[in-house]
Structure 1
């Protein structure tokens, strides 16, 4: 059985893109390369980044595709490939990675969710911004430097102390 992705032209999608090694900090160690890669992909295939957070081993993002365009998969693939090519060659690669000309940095698949309406959008933006707190990386969401929360605060959509009084559930600690 193959997985079928939702493809709606001009739609908004919540994405999770993860490294194969979930104990890695590769994304933070190379955040400048990741930002440059995203700019290059956006230049070639435009889309809007509504919200985003870069964590040590994965990215959460909300992307809105241009009117008439459905191909977020192409953009994710380009981002992963260009980021991987910009890094030094790793010592070991499995045969399947060599055959597909992959470095084996990323999980082969990514997760997407079609954002359905304003409440769904808001819930996913909040999820993105609280994620560094949820993972124990900072105590306040606004203290994480690799997050769109700073744009939301600057533009007046969120107060600087957003979610500081939000109790975390036991499973989120």
Structure 2
């Protein structure tokens, strides 16, 4: 099976998913989620990107990202994963109470990411619902607004979620 094709030659909204290496639960700690959001903020600004929504699960991440220019997705995801990986790994290695389930040389993230290109508001709303329902379906919370690590509280309650949320100009 060949590599999945990433379409980044038009101004799509990208529904992106990437996972922790070996499906480990590196993001089960709140501080790791905070570090990931900090890295997302930095890369959104650096790449002039818009975050439409996100959810951080214990072992994977979903996000909806839009760029003002084409050809940005791969470098954005590479930079987001690289910067968050460094800070998350450093944090986890410093935690003496953490039972180490990984070696120092193990990566935090799987190498690849998956992207689904979206061209309609209807499909964006479908993906937002899918993302926001993830913690409910996994039994982590009863209501989508109870999961602090997603954009659901922004959409449902108008509350800040630690990342600027916007809507693309399709």
TM-score by length of 1: 0.76
Instruction: Give the corresponding residue for 2:83.
Output: 82
Contact kept, 8 Å, 2:20 with 2:26, in 1: the verdict is no
Asked if 2 retains the 8 angstrom alpha-carbon contact of 1:51 and 1:62, the reply is yes
| Structure 1 runs, 4 residues or longer, greater than 4 Å off | none
Q: Which runs of 5+ in 1 are unaligned?
A: 94-102, 157-173
Using the size of structure 2 for normalisation, the TM-score is 0.77
Query: In terms of Rg, which structure is larger?
Result: 1
Deviation at 1:27, TM superposition (A): 5.6
Question: After superposition, what is the alpha-carbon deviation per residue over 1:24-72, rounded to whole angstroms, capped at 9, x for unaligned?
Answer: 1436441221121112112211111101111111111111111x32321
| Match of residue 6 from structure 2 | 5
Deviates more, 1:47-56 or 1:9-18: 9-18
Counterparts of 1:33 and 1:73, CA distance in 2: 20
Contact residue 26 and residue 108 of structure 2 kept, 8 A = no
For residues 40 and 23 of structure 2, what CA distance do their matches in structure 1 show?
21
For CA contacts below 8 A with separation 6 or more, give which structure has more relative contact order.
2
Uncovered stretches (5+) of structure 2, i.e. residues with no partner: 94-101, 160-170
